[in-house]
Structure 1
Amino acid sequence: MRISLLMLIFTIAYTSGESAGKNWWEGAVFYEVFVRSFYDSDADGIGDIKGLTEKLNYLNDGKPETKGDLGIDALWLMPIMPSPSYHGYDVTDYRNINPDYGNLPDFRRFLKEAHSRGIKVIIDFVPNHTSNKHPWFKKSLKANQNAQNAFRNFYIWQNDNEVGANWHKTPSGSYYGFFSPVMPDLNYKNRDVRKQIEKAGKFWIEDVGVDGFRLDAVKYLVENGENIQNTNGTLRVLKNLRKAWKGLSEDVFIIGEIWDNAEVIREYTIKDCVDMGFEFPFAWTLIEGIKDCRPDKIAQKLERACICYPDMRFAPFLSNHDQNRIFSQIGKDEAKMKLAAAVLLTSPGTPFLYYGEEIGMAGTKPDPEIRKPMQWSAGKNAGFSKAQPWQKPNENFRQFNVQSMEFQEQSLLNWYKKLIRLRSRNKALSRGDFTLLEAGCDSILAFQRSCKGEIIAVVHNFSEENADVDDLMIKAYETNTDLRLERLIGSRLDAKESSLTITGTAKPCSTEIFRITAD
């Protein structure tokens, strides 16, 4: 449809579409992978680097004109360094690959293949603690309480027998480990520790070629008495690490796990400690809104996020490896899952998906249950491995799997593909401003995204019933120019040409999207 108005000048909301998105990650869609559970190439029941390489074309085949791949832009790999645990968050060597997954040559080949497809790769880096089997800790543990040992102060020790929470007794004293006795905290007040971690990061950037890091549990790095979170010491350490790593290349991306509210997370970005933080409140609030069929709280959260992060430096997500899978949280309802995906992929920020989310993988804690093998087919072991998998696949794999869903036009998987492509091909969605719109209906979340002469108007119906939308007005000023309006997704709502308003009846748990551009 074409609209001729006196003119349309797009309103500027919380950030400028002209200045947003200078860095590659700001327009990207990320995909979190647990290598152990993604694909097993050598029939030992454990996913590996070669298996991940084999499946790159599923993620992005490097051909923008094709539609068969998922279309993501970047990968976040959960820990790939040597570790005694299945999850890898207790590292024994910061400069190597977990032998369960392969070796450094395998990983370098994987990076070459990923980069050839335009896929960026960041890896989990765990700076807060090591494994208690790390050589540093073994040397620290062997030292006499009063001995001058170079590794004694790599960790936090106390000789007093009367210790409190998170302290763990040994014959040579008590050490501090916030998360677990097998995860002793590093002592960042020790310059040698800071240098070792800095060098480890440089190794992965310079020698191996990764594109950045997801930093685990960063708000706990430096304790200050009983204050163990978000201390000034933590901010200083992170700022210096980021400076050193980005000194190698400004294209290095640093995102932090800061499990907190938006105001606290924002401190880490404005003080140049990280490039971005995960927006945990978004996930919590969106799930609550979908369960309650009401979008008012997520509307407030999005508006608040855009105020806290006027440069859109935040990462929304639905769930991750530490949380019950989103599909389980919303009652395994496909319509609601599609709605959740649509809200995530039309919202501001840099979205992160969790592997299997796009095919409706289910799972609730304990943690191994939410990190199960990827469901590639309805065949034996969900197509993950020819051997007995390290963890039994979900029971729903015969219905919810890649092979089956690829050929179902209305499947959840193809819905994700459509939304990711829409976001990638429209800068207003991937990098644009955000403005809430007044829909006049309690179950409707409506907003517009705008960037460089383009507006994307989005209408989400959170209700399980039809919802009336009456003259929802796109915010604009007048001017003399011809405009083109086109429907991108949906079929029930209509845009009135004379007033640039949206009206009609939205289907239950639905999303409709329109684009307005100037000729």
Structure 2
Amino acid sequence: MSLRFEEISPEAGNLEQFKGFVQAAHRKGISVVLDLTPNYQGSSGPWFSNISVTNVAERLKSALVFWLNEGVDGVQLSGVERVSSVVPSLWNDIRAIVQKGTDERPNKRLLIGVTEQSSAEDVSSLLSSTSVDLLISRVLRAGDVDATERAQSVQRLYSSHSQTTLAWSLGGGAEGHMAWLVGPALVKLHQLLLLTLPGTPVFNYGDELGLMDAEERAERLSCRSFFRSLSELRGKEHSLTFGDFLLLLNSSSSLAYLRVWDQSERYLATFNWAEEAAVLQLSRATLPRQAAVVLSTNSSALPADSKVDLTNLWLGPRQAALLRFPYTG
């Protein structure tokens, strides 16, 4: 098998075109992260067998230097748990190459790890042992636990680590688009979930559209509009970007949490996973009696800017809503 880590497939272009792409992205303030995982289809799992992983890791080190010198802002690697345990010294070298700043680039580049682990305990341990800057896991995709356990996992990881190291994703790679995994009716709900959790939301191309071959164009446009409004809001509101995370309600059918930052407006994310309507009773000292609707997966039932009673909040079947209220001191 020939591993040519420093070459670009002729079908995709050439090195000069890649450099132009990176420069164009940087002019627009966009960072470029390169997925350099060696051969996803290796017969013995990530980075091959215990014998070959040393050779592959050594080859990868020179490739990392090459691509970082070409201006990429970070690298994504899968199988980090196995490589960091089988060849820990080489893993430390890989981390140093990516994360260490230079005179030309004083800020370190981003090292993103990808793991198949789904439990909060395993993901927490990996964050500590690998020292990656960001870890993409399967916490939200665990098929053998209910919504209650997933929310508890989010809470445990948030309590144990800086939210700058946490990432949330659904779909990708061989698993398919988000719409394929959760169903078309729940795409907006999960867009709202990923974009309001503490940490970094990870979307794959097409997830912003709820992309599925059978979907109607009108529904794709609706998903894109919802995604655009939500992502723009996250980018400008401090409470959503890096605010504290407070879990208010968590059951197998309902979820509610608060995002709070200093004296900024507070944001309340509410979800009903069930196929029937639900009434959420959110009453505590930190909450007002009413809040305003910012976005809803069903704008007919909960139109934007309408007021809702938090002590008797009605959510329709499989509906989610983002609410806000002002800081009052």
Shorter-chain TM-score: what band?
Answer: 0.7 to 0.9
Q: CA deviation at 1:361?
A: 2.5
State the distance in 1 between where 2:192 and 2:209 align: 14
User: Given the superposition, is the C-alpha separation of residues 314 and 107 from structure 1 closer, same or farther in structure 2, using an over 3 Å criterion?
Assistant: same
Q: Is the 8 A contact 2:163 2:198 kept in 1?
A: no
Shift of 1:485: 6.2
Aligned counterparts, 1:296-375, within 5 A: 296-330=148-182, 332-334=183-185, 336-362=186-212
Preserved CA contact (<8 Å) 2:113 2:136: yes
Residue type of the alignment partner of 1:104: L
Give me the whole-angstrom Cα distance separating, in 1, the residues matched to 2:48 and 2:130. Answer: 27
Aligned residue identity for 1:178: S
| Residue of structure 2 equivalent to 1:45 | none
C-alpha distance in 2, partners of 1:462/1:213? 35
In structure 2, C-alpha distance between the alignment counterparts of 1:123 and 1:275, rounded to whole Å: 14
**1:165-244 alignment to 2 at 5 Å?**
177-179=43-45, 187=52, 189=54, 195-206=58-69, 208-221=70-83, 231=85, 233-244=86-97
Whether contact under 8 Å (1:437, 1:448) holds in the other structure is: yes
User: After superposition, what is the alpha-carbon deviation per residue over 1:355-406, rounded to whole angstroms, capped at 9, x for unaligned?
Assistant: 11222323xxxxxxxxxxxxxxxxxxxxxxxxxxxxxxx4x26x24xxx667
RMSD of aligned C-alpha atoms?
3.3
For residue 245 of structure 1, what is the aligned residue in structure 2? 98
Return the letter of the residue paired with 1:282: L
The aligned residue for residue 473 of structure 1 is 284
Distance in 2 separating the partners of 1:196 and 1:91? 11
Distance change in 2, residues 1:217/1:442 (3 Å): closer
For the residues of structure 2 that align with 1:125 and 1:448, how far apart are their CA atoms?
37
CA deviations 1:314-371 (Å, max 9, x no partner) are 21101111314332233x433x121121111111221111111222323xxxxxxxxx
Partner of 1:256: 113
Query: Which of the pair has more CA radius of gyration?
Result: 1
Deviation at 1:488, TM superposition (A): 1.7
Specify the SS of the correspondent of 2:312: strand
Which of 241, 252, 255 is the equivalent residue of 1:445? 255
State whether structure 2 residue 17 is matched by structure 1 residue 103. no
Q: Which residue of 1 aligns with 2:123?
A: 265
Measure the CA separation in 1 of the matches of 2:87 and 2:325: 45
| Counterpart Cα distance in 1 of 2:252 and 2:120 | 25
Deviation at 1:104, TM superposition (A): 0.7
Q: For residues 267 and 297 of structure 1, what CA distance do their matches in structure 2 show? A: 18
Contact 2:256 2:268 in 1 (8 A): yes
Equivalent residue for 2:299? none
* Number of the residue aligned with 1:503: 312
Corresponding residue of 1:277: 135
Find the aligned partners of 1:130 and 1:471 in 2 and give their Cα distance: 46
Match of residue 35, structure 2, among 120, 124, 146 = 124
Q: Is the 8 A contact 1:443 1:462 kept in 2?
A: yes
The code of the aligned residue for 2:275 comes to: E
> CA 1:474/1:446 → structure 2, altered by over 3 Å: closer, same or farther?
farther
Identify the structure with the greater helix proportion: 2
* Paired residue type of 1:423: R
Write the distance in 1 (CA, Å) between the matches of 2:244 and 2:74: 26
Q: Name the amino acid aligned to 1:333.
A: P
Deviation string 1:183-230 (CA, Å, 9 cap, x unpaired) is 67774556xx65542221011111x11110111222333xxxxxxxx6
Q: Distance in 1 between matches of 2:67 and 2:234?
A: 30
User: Is contact 2:278-2:316 (8 Å) kept?
Assistant: yes
Distance 1:343 1:194, change over 3 A: closer
Give 1:110 deviation, angstroms. Answer: 1.2
SS in 1 for 2:5: coil
Instruction: Give the TM-score, by structure 1 length.
Output: 0.54
2-side partners of 1:445 and 1:358: how far apart?
22
Contact conserved, 1:279 with 1:316, CA < 8 A, in 2? yes
Distance 1:113 1:328 in 2: 33
Structure ranking higher on relative contact order (CA contacts 8 Å, 6+ apart): 1
Query: SS of the residue aligned with 2:317?
Result: coil
Q: Give how far 1:312 is off.
A: 4.7
For residues 281-306 of structure 1, the C-alpha deviation after alignment (integer angstroms, 9 at most, x for no partner) is 22225x975xxxxx423322222222
Deviation at 1:272, TM superposition (A): 5.2
Q: What SS class does the counterpart of residue 119 from structure 1 fall into?
A: coil
What percentage of residue pairs aligned between the two structures are identical? 22
TM-superposed CA distance for 1:112, in Å, is 1.6
Separation (CA, whole Å) in 2 of partners of 1:345 and 1:130? 28
**Structure 2 vs 1, CA of residues 324 and 188 (structure 1 numbering), >3 Å: closer, same or farther?**
closer
Conserved in 2, the CA contact under 8 Å of 1:238 and 1:273? no
Matched AA of 1:342: L
**Equivalents in 2 of 1:219, 1:518: separation in Å?**
42
Judge conservation of contact 1:348–1:432 (CA < 8 Å) in 2: yes
**Partner Cα separation in structure 2 for residue 126 and residue 258 of structure 1:** 12
Shift of residue 102, structure 1, vs aligned partner: 0.6
CA deviation vs aligned residue, 1:230-284 (integer Å, no higher than 9, x gap): 62x4444322211122223433111112211333333343245311211212222
